[in-house]
Amino acid sequence: MQELTNDYLVEAIEDSRPFASSGNVNMIIPEYDETIRDYLGVTIITTDGECFAAGDNDKFIPMQSTSKIIGLMLALQDFGKERVFQTVGMEPMGDFFNSISQLESYDTSKPFNPMINAGAIAVSALIKGQTVDKRFNRYMDFLRKVTNNEQLEMSEEVYEAEKANGARNRSLAYFMQSTGTLVTDVEEALDLYFRMNSVMMCCHDFARVGLFLAKGGLDLETGEKLIPSHHLRTVKAIMMTSGMYNSSGHYAVEAGFPCKSGVSGSIIGSSPGRMGIGVVGPAIDKKGNSTAGGALIKKLSQDLELNMFGIENTERKNEDGI
Ligand code: GLU
């Protein structure tokens, strides 16, 4: 197995960076343009507390869909698994993440899963708080504890762009109101969703979220358990089956550990018991996944033997006679 070092990560980045040329930068995001197409950065934090980083690891980008796992954790805390999955399904979906047709075809009372836009908007309606401000503050408090980064903030510019380009998400939300899936204030659910998408993070912050999931949901500074293990299991299983949009099956096979991507080119990876991985690579494919970042995740899985279904580890040992 490859030893995890900064030098190895530098090589892994250089091997994966060329894949950026097959992707496109999402121009709806402020400050996203052709000049950042080739950015690629990674941070890995092991459960032993070692930290490795390479490439453009200090670039801050919006969370976009990686926020969906934080939202899901809060909704599970607030309402429990049964109630959450009465509102949203837990099945993977073959359509694009912002698909409307799936809302009619699967089950007229709920979206497929919490990792697609409709599902995440329905989940944001389940985050408790009297006002959107209070609900978003809870989201930020939780995120700051998970990442141990008090400086995290939402970008006003990204938030404005999310609202200005939110016609599809509004359609999804109002459709869900018509079917009775969204019973609370639709505009508030959308507003919270737009804000959660607009929080700026760098590779280290994304890696901390992955580490949080990999290390039992602890606040690593205080040792406080922030979320019960049964909710973590649920979140990781949903990431595995639906976290990489409609390429999730591919990533389950080729990476083999829970990941969540966002259209900003962010990826959170969580190798249970081993490490959290944060990747930034703004060029994305048609399905919404970072092209260079996805290549890097698959390379890391192979080289560091992160695939959870990796019986090859046992086979290799047997061949060596160990
Ligand atoms: N702001 C994007 C949207 O709601 C986020 C989607 C994503 O990252 O998948 O369409």
Kindly give the residue spans of alpha helices, DSSP state H, lying in the chain.
6-16, 67-87, 102-105, 117-124, 132-147, 156-164, 167-178, 186-197, 203-214, 229-242, 248-254, 291-304, 312-319
- In this structure, are residues 40 and 13 in contact, taking their beta carbons and an 8 Å threshold? yes
Query: Stretch 236-258: mean pLDDT, rounded?
Result: 97
- CB neighbours of 163 closer than 8 A, spacing ≥ 6? 194
Is 57 one of the annotated binding-site residues?
Answer: no
Cβ-based burial of 157 (10 A; exposed 0-12, middle 13-18, buried ≥19): middle
Q: What is the pLDDT of residue 236?
A: 98
Q: Which residues line ligand 1 (CB under 6 A)?
A: 64-65, 97-98, 117, 162, 169, 197, 262-263, 288
CA 117 to ligand 1 centroid distance, Å: 7
Residue 136 reports pLDDT greater than 80? yes
Structural domain includes residue 255: yes
Query: Stretch 28-57: mean pLDDT, rounded?
Result: 97
CA 85 to ligand 1 centroid distance, Å: 21
Residue 55 reports pLDDT greater than 80? yes
Q: How many domains does the chain have?
A: 2
Q: Whose CA is nearest to atom 2 of ligand 1?
A: 64
Are 52 and 86 in the same domain?
no
Q: What is the pLDDT of residue 266?
A: 98
Task: From 162, 197, 232, give the residue that closes a domain.
Answer: 197
* Residue type for position 11: E
128 is annotated as an active-site residue:
no
Residue 321 reports pLDDT greater than 80? no
CATH of residue 280's domain is 3.40.710.10
- CB neighbours of 264 closer than 8 A, spacing ≥ 6? 26, 29, 32, 61, 62, 63, 64, 282
Residue 140 reports pLDDT greater than 60? yes
Is 8 one of the annotated binding-site residues?
Answer: no
Are 217 and 300 in the same domain?
yes
Query: Stretch 59-79: mean pLDDT, rounded?
Result: 98
Are 44 and 99 in the same domain?
no
> Out of 17-26, 181-190, 303-312, which region has the weakest mean confidence (pLDDT)?
303-312
Are 243 and 286 in the same domain?
yes
Structural domain includes residue 102: yes
Residue 20 reports pLDDT greater than 80? yes
Structural domain includes residue 313: yes
Are 86 and 165 in the same domain?
yes
Is 186 one of the annotated binding-site residues?
Answer: no
Higher local confidence (pLDDT), 257 or 179: 257
Is 14 one of the annotated binding-site residues?
Answer: no
Q: Quick one: what percent of the chain has pLDDT higher than 90?
A: 89
Are 59 and 205 in the same domain?
yes
Give the tens place of pLDDT for each residue, 162-176: 999 999 999 999 999
**103 confidence band (pLDDT: 50, 70, 90):** confident
Catalytic residue selected from 32, 39, 193, 251: 193
81 is annotated as an active-site residue:
no
**108 confidence band (pLDDT: 50, 70, 90):** low
Query: Stretch 186-194: mean pLDDT, rounded?
Result: 98
Are 132 and 205 in the same domain?
no
Q: What is the pLDDT of residue 100?
A: 74
**199 confidence band (pLDDT: 50, 70, 90):** very high
Task: From 179, 197, 215, give the residue that closes a domain.
Answer: 197
Are 101 and 115 in the same domain?
yes
Structural domain boundaries, residue 169: 65-197
Give the tens place of pLDDT for each residue, 253-297: 999 999 999 999 999 999 999 999 999 999 999 999 999 999 999
Are 193 and 131 in the same domain?
yes
Are 173 and 128 in the same domain?
yes
Q: What is the pLDDT of residue 292?
A: 98
Are 309 and 246 in the same domain?
yes
Task: From 178, 197, 216, give the residue that closes a domain.
Answer: 197
Q: What is the pLDDT of residue 4?
A: 98
Structural domain includes residue 168: yes
**38 confidence band (pLDDT: 50, 70, 90):** very high
- CB neighbours of 296 closer than 8 A, spacing ≥ 6? 12, 13, 16, 40, 42, 279, 281
On average, the pLDDT of the chain sits at: 94
Catalytic residue selected from 25, 32, 42, 65: 65
Are 145 and 236 in the same domain?
no
Q: Whose CA is nearest to atom 7 of ligand 1?
A: 65
Residue 205 reports pLDDT greater than 70? yes
**315 confidence band (pLDDT: 50, 70, 90):** low
Secondary structure (DSSP) of 239-265: HHHHTTGGGHHHHHHHT-S-EEE-TTS
Structural domain includes residue 1: no
193 is annotated as an active-site residue:
yes
CA 263 to ligand 1 centroid distance, Å: 6
